[in-house]
Structure 1
Amino acid sequence: MRSGAKIALVGGVFVLAAGGIGYGAYSVVGGGGSGGDGTGTRAASTEVRTGPPTGEEIEETAKSFLSAWAAGDAAAAALLTNDETGAEPLLTGYAEEAHVTEAVITPGPAVGAKVPFTVKATVSYEGTTKPWSYASELTVVRGLTTGRALVDWQPAVVHPRLTEGATLRTGASSGAAIEAVDRHGTVLDKETYPSLGPVLDTLRKKYGDGAGGSPGIETRIEPADEQLPGTTLLTLAEGKPGKLRTTLDATVQAAAEKAVERFGESSVVAIQPSTGAIQAIANNRRDAFDAAMLGRLAPGSTMKIVTAAMIIQNGLGSMDGTVECPSTVSWEGVTFHNLEDFSLADGPLREAFARSCNTAFIKPVKPLGDRAGTALGQEARDYFGLGQTWQTGIPSFDGSVPESSGAETAASYIGQGKILMSPLNMASVTATVKNGAFEQPHIVARDVDDRPFATARALPAGTAQQLREMMRYTATSASGTGAPAMATVGGDKGAKTGSAEVDGQPTSNSWFTGFSNDLAAAAVVQSGGHGGDAAGPVVAQVLRAGP
């Protein structure tokens, strides 16, 4: 058969287009060449091959697998993988659950053991039909026990966005369609605001049925965790949308989308301090994970905002009180360092805060004695709402400041150890400082579904004022680590930088949080280095879009 010809297979339903790889007969045979019996099994052989598959084996195995899949013979295709049990349900579901009625699979040239291919399919459901196309790839490996060349089974072979435990289905959408709008009534869509794709899917699933709309028909990925939203891959028929007003601000969201484009693995959240309204959520990540809302990362020196509040409220220091900033400090036998072991002459806490001196935020806490391991968590929970249950309207992480002991206690004061935060959490910390009191972050108003909001005590006025002044000093003084990034931000502004070390990662994560007037934002750029170098410009760009 000529390369590039299209051959109808069993049942006349699926078609395999052979291009790029010079295929011969389309019999379903065992990977590895001759000896197949047409059922996906291989004739008995005394020789078990070892080593990487040969080019001939890769071509033959890919041909046989794609041929069986295209023919709708899921059992035979599954036998050509190294995980028959995992492969067969997804391959069977391609026709039975995803309702793919025709498919043309076109392989490309092998690149090593990988064979890319494109799929041009037709999906039909209850009289509605629509074309669907995408690209994927498979990898051929040597079977560990049989020595056969087999497709290394991953759900992503069927579709690149499929993950373990997820299924591919076509049917009525999981929630009624919604037209999500920002606080001014501007329509929000995933084409204009790519980061909002999973957010809008979640909002539809949670609020669609109550927004007055009706469901459409779609092909979607349903994750193993039923609490997470599905991912729409193809819309066969639009539903009637109901309108859902969010707290997002289209202008701020657009700025956040642009800001994260500057750095890979970056995430940012913006919040209105006076209300807790989330005004932007954006991510630029290879894995599409919503780290802005769900990330669990050490926040580094941005946590010194909470540590400073604890120091002030426990009478251990004040904004203008003198502190020491030696290059190192010891805590229960462990030595903690400043960046590049810098030191400062004794001076006010605000200078140590602006310069991000680690030792100045560890030494003053030693007098707490037995309370040293619990004081930070109490401060975080009681005044900043961290670690409580935040019902934002979509899945989110609430921050974690657990009780600590030994050297981990000292590490927690500088945002390391067991401390875990997301950009949402740190944006909320800054919003609390700016407002003087915690307002639970939310993307949908509380009265939409009467869900409970987390509460916290207002910061003492004197504490809040000192924290704001220290953040303003960090953003505006010549010595402030946040000043370069915040130079282009106007209004009443403040900031705090952070760099968080991660085991096994040569470059630290870059953190930055700041406020300008009635907008607060926080960002993380994983492996971004110093806080002001990567996360700082992201936050500044978002703040410039605010009031």
Structure 2
Amino acid sequence: MRSGAKAAVIGGVFAAMVGAAGFGAYALIGGDDDSSGGLDLGAVGDKPSIETGPPSAAEVRTTAREFLGAWESGNASDAASLTDSRGDAKAALTGYRKDARIERVTLEPRAATGRTVPFDVSAVISYRGQRATWTYDSALTVTRQKTTGRAVVDWKPSVVHPGLREGDSLKTGEADAPPIKAVDRDGAELKEKEHPGLHGVLAALRERYGDKAGGKAGVELWIARAKDAKDKGEGGAGEAGKRPDETLKVLSKGTPGTLRTTLDSGLQASAEKAVAGHGKAAMVALKASTGEILAVANSPASGFNTALQGSYAPGSTMKVITSSLLLEKGLAGYDKPHPCPKYSTYGGWKFQNDDKFEIKHGTFAQSFARSCNTAFISQAKKLDDGDLTRQAREVFGIGLNWQTGVPTFDGSVPVQSQAQMAASLIGQGGVRMNPLNMASVAATVRTGSFHQPFLVAPSVDDRQVAKASRALSPAAADQLRSLMRLTATAGTAAEAMAGVGGDIGAKTGSAEVDGQKEANGWFTAYRGDLAASAVVPGGGHGGESAGPLVAQLLRQGG
């Protein structure tokens, strides 16, 4: 099943071509029967010398033109022989003709940049009497094969189409799912052209509800995603879950069925505008009292749905859950004295605060508002290894199977011990969250109990939503709201939340990632019945990067 088809070209990634000139088949060098592979064999009796080092500019040009020429002429075997993965390349190029129903293709290389050669693609699709032209851009990279020294194409599925990943394929035929007309909570249509941030959401909605919304399927070319494939994260910031299939070209339109969502088109537009200012960012807004998802925004808009499926260490925003645990266990109190030294050691690790600050003779409220790491690490010795996991699951619903209506990653707080357990208390270690999870955490504090987020009403398909086993204790809930209000008005979130009035609360976070220069910036907050959270990978301090995004949305809708 696939995303709703909006146009022949998806997300502005593919450039249209006018008069792209092809070229005929070229003589191939170094095939299966070429024992020398074009190498200098040296003196008789000597072992052949093997070229090393990066391919020359001439080799890059020649290899690219020969590969594209063989592909264009329909000779998948010869094209594959010019790659470093013949089997995979041959299967993909054969499927391009057979499964995607490409009748002919014109491939035009452009000027190389180093070892990478971009090229224009103009293909003709033919299916049961229907024909359509399909144009897009792609690129290949030339490398040197270690065993032979030949210059070959570094094979990746993205050579065939930039949207393909390992195990994906292109298909043309009658759509498995009819298109849908997704509408917001007030009945306004949610079009991808107007809301590009919903690219992944609309695709997922069609995949799940296309055959339930009353529409009729059309004929399309689409990316069939690898079964059970999961995206790999970057720098320890994983991406959980499978991308939905994606329509690339419509040959004949189907009839859409209508599907009502919980989204608010006004907030959605504002959220998309807010994250667009960052190269990579994600945000989610919820109605705290019900769990209804009001906005989902990602930058880049056509990229992975980080807002709902991302898997990142949440940094100090995790201290909201940890504080609830300490409050309920009597290990902390809003105005009770609480240690915040420069350093605290547990499990052989030495933890410190940002800029090694300390609070002498301070209270827990002061430590929370200033996001003191050692105030939490110091309590690790009084906790069992599974305490934080149970608190996150039983009270905040983290790790339960959320049935939102679209694929989501529902958070993870694994049981850990020693230093890793202590690190989990401050949102590092093995803890993983996304903006959906952290918006739900803020909503749970605001209402005192967990309401599973959802984007399509459970009544549409009789889904059973996840339920936490218990609510926060009234005393802990009251203190948590006071802690988050203090943070929003006089703590690390105060600058971002300036001008946001009413019943408010917030928590900042910065999560360090190995090999990443700047930390990931986090922010979670609520205003009245609106809860929201954002992450800006590589954004640094959450109050400075993610905070303004969330505050901007709260000002509008709180």
Q: TM-score, normalised by structure 2?
A: 0.89
**Does structure 2 conserve the Cα–Cα contact (< 8 Å) formed by 1:329 and 1:359?**
yes
Q: How many Å separate the matches in 2 of 1:341 and 1:142?
A: 49
- State the 1:16 CA deviation: 8.4
- State the 1:426 CA deviation: 0.8
Q: How many Å separate the matches in 1 of 2:56 and 2:243?
A: 41
Question: Of residues 408, 419, 436 in structure 2, which corresponds to 1:424?
Answer: 436
- State the 1:320 CA deviation: 1.8
Aligned to 1:462: 475
Aligned to 2:456: 444
Q: Which is worse superposed, 282-291 or 458-467?
A: 282-291
Q: Which is worse superposed, 382-391 or 137-146?
A: 137-146
- SS of equivalent residue, structure 2 residue 446: helix
Pair 212,350 (structure 1): closer, same or farther in 2 beyond 3 Å: same
Pair 235,322 (structure 1): closer, same or farther in 2 beyond 3 Å: same
Aligned to 2:332: 317
- SS of equivalent residue, structure 1 residue 92: helix
- State the 1:234 CA deviation: 1.2
- State the 1:108 CA deviation: 1.1
Q: Which is worse superposed, 44-53 or 265-274?
A: 44-53
- SS of equivalent residue, structure 2 residue 438: helix
**Does structure 2 conserve the Cα–Cα contact (< 8 Å) formed by 1:90 and 1:167?**
yes
Q: How many Å separate the matches in 2 of 1:387 and 1:43?
A: 57
Q: How many Å separate the matches in 2 of 1:200 and 1:258?
A: 18
Question: Of residues 487, 490, 494 in structure 1, which corresponds to 2:505?
Answer: 494
- State the 1:508 CA deviation: 1.2
1:290 aligns with 2:305: yes
Pair 26,208 (structure 1): closer, same or farther in 2 beyond 3 Å: closer
Q: How many Å separate the matches in 2 of 1:70 and 1:262?
A: 40
Q: TM-score, normalised by structure 1?
A: 0.90
- SS of equivalent residue, structure 2 residue 338: strand
Aligned to 2:91: 89
C-alpha distance after superposition, 1:284-304 (max 9, x if no partner): 149922221112211111011
Aligned to 1:17: 21
1:300 aligns with 2:315: yes
- State the 1:211 CA deviation: 0.7
**Does structure 2 conserve the Cα–Cα contact (< 8 Å) formed by 1:320 and 1:348?**
yes
Q: What CA RMSD, in Å, does the superposition of the two structures yield over aligned residues?
A: 2.0
Q: How many Å separate the matches in 1 of 2:289 and 2:489?
A: 23
Q: How many Å separate the matches in 1 of 2:182 and 2:20?
A: 41
Aligned to 1:98: 100
- Letter matched to residue 468 of structure 1: R
- Letter matched to residue 553 of structure 2: V
1:151 aligns with 2:153: yes
- State the 1:71 CA deviation: 0.9
- State the 1:205 CA deviation: 1.1
Q: How many Å separate the matches in 2 of 1:502 and 1:140?
A: 32
**Does structure 2 conserve the Cα–Cα contact (< 8 Å) formed by 1:104 and 1:119?**
yes
- Letter matched to residue 222 of structure 2: R
- SS of equivalent residue, structure 1 residue 407: helix
Q: How many Å separate the matches in 2 of 1:190 and 1:345?
A: 53
**Does structure 2 conserve the Cα–Cα contact (< 8 Å) formed by 1:17 and 1:104?**
yes
Q: How many Å separate the matches in 2 of 1:123 and 1:40?
A: 31
C-alpha distance after superposition, 1:159-213 (max 9, x if no partner): 1111111001111223111101111111112222122111111111111101101
Q: How many Å separate the matches in 2 of 1:298 and 1:27?
A: 51
- State the 1:225 CA deviation: 2.3
Q: How many Å separate the matches in 2 of 1:205 and 1:472?
A: 41
Pair 128,543 (structure 1): closer, same or farther in 2 beyond 3 Å: farther
- Letter matched to residue 284 of structure 2: V
Aligned to 1:471: 484
- State the 1:305 CA deviation: 0.6
Q: How many Å separate the matches in 2 of 1:254 and 1:414?
A: 33
**Does structure 1 conserve the Cα–Cα contact (< 8 Å) formed by 2:182 and 2:261?**
yes
Pair 62,458 (structure 1): closer, same or farther in 2 beyond 3 Å: same
- State the 1:106 CA deviation: 1.5
Q: How many Å separate the matches in 2 of 1:59 and 1:418?
A: 46
Q: How many Å separate the matches in 1 of 2:349 and 2:124?
A: 63
Pair 60,506 (structure 1): closer, same or farther in 2 beyond 3 Å: closer
Give ranges in structure 1 of 5+ residues lacking alignment.
1-14, 32-38
**Does structure 1 conserve the Cα–Cα contact (< 8 Å) formed by 2:404 and 2:455?**
yes
**Does structure 2 conserve the Cα–Cα contact (< 8 Å) formed by 1:30 and 1:61?**
no
- SS of equivalent residue, structure 1 residue 347: coil
Q: How many Å separate the matches in 2 of 1:286 and 1:177?
A: 20
Pair 95,484 (structure 1): closer, same or farther in 2 beyond 3 Å: same
Matches within 5 A, 1:23-34: 26-30=25-29
- SS of equivalent residue, structure 1 residue 257: helix
Give ranges in structure 2 of 5+ residues lacking alignment.
1-18, 42-47, 229-241
Aligned to 2:11: none
Q: How many Å separate the matches in 2 of 1:161 and 1:332?
A: 44
Pair 16,534 (structure 1): closer, same or farther in 2 beyond 3 Å: closer
Q: How many Å separate the matches in 1 of 2:434 and 2:199?
A: 19
1:245 aligns with 2:260: yes
- State the 1:271 CA deviation: 1.0
1:405 aligns with 2:397: no
Q: How many Å separate the matches in 1 of 2:474 and 2:190?
A: 38
Aligned to 2:557: 546
Q: How many Å separate the matches in 1 of 2:382 and 2:103?
A: 72
Question: Of residues 505, 517, 520 in structure 2, which corresponds to 1:506?
Answer: 517
- Letter matched to residue 543 of structure 1: L
Aligned to 1:520: 531
Matches within 5 A, 1:42-441: 42=34, 44=36, 46=41, 47=48, 48-225=50-227, 228-285=243-300, 288-368=303-383, 371=384, 373-441=385-453
Q: How many Å separate the matches in 2 of 1:50 and 1:408?
A: 44
Q: How many Å separate the matches in 1 of 2:51 and 2:373?
A: 58
- Bigger RCO of structures 1 and 2 (CA < 8 A, at least 6 apart): 2
- Letter matched to residue 124 of structure 1: S
1:532 aligns with 2:543: yes
C-alpha distance after superposition, 1:382-440 (max 9, x if no partner): 11111111111111111111222112222111111121111111111000011111000
**Does structure 1 conserve the Cα–Cα contact (< 8 Å) formed by 2:345 and 2:377?**
no
Q: Which is worse superposed, 404-413 or 300-309?
A: 404-413
**Does structure 2 conserve the Cα–Cα contact (< 8 Å) formed by 1:30 and 1:41?**
no
- State the 1:365 CA deviation: 4.8
Q: How many Å separate the matches in 2 of 1:449 and 1:290?
A: 23
Aligned to 2:15: none
- Letter matched to residue 327 of structure 1: K
- SS of equivalent residue, structure 1 residue 499: strand
- Letter matched to residue 17 of structure 1: A
Q: Which is worse superposed, 226-235 or 323-332?
A: 226-235
Q: How many Å separate the matches in 2 of 1:519 and 1:401?
A: 25
- SS of equivalent residue, structure 1 residue 17: coil
- Letter matched to residue 71 of structure 2: W
Q: How many Å separate the matches in 2 of 1:169 and 1:62?
A: 25
Q: How many Å separate the matches in 1 of 2:510 and 2:301?
A: 22
Pair 414,362 (structure 1): closer, same or farther in 2 beyond 3 Å: same
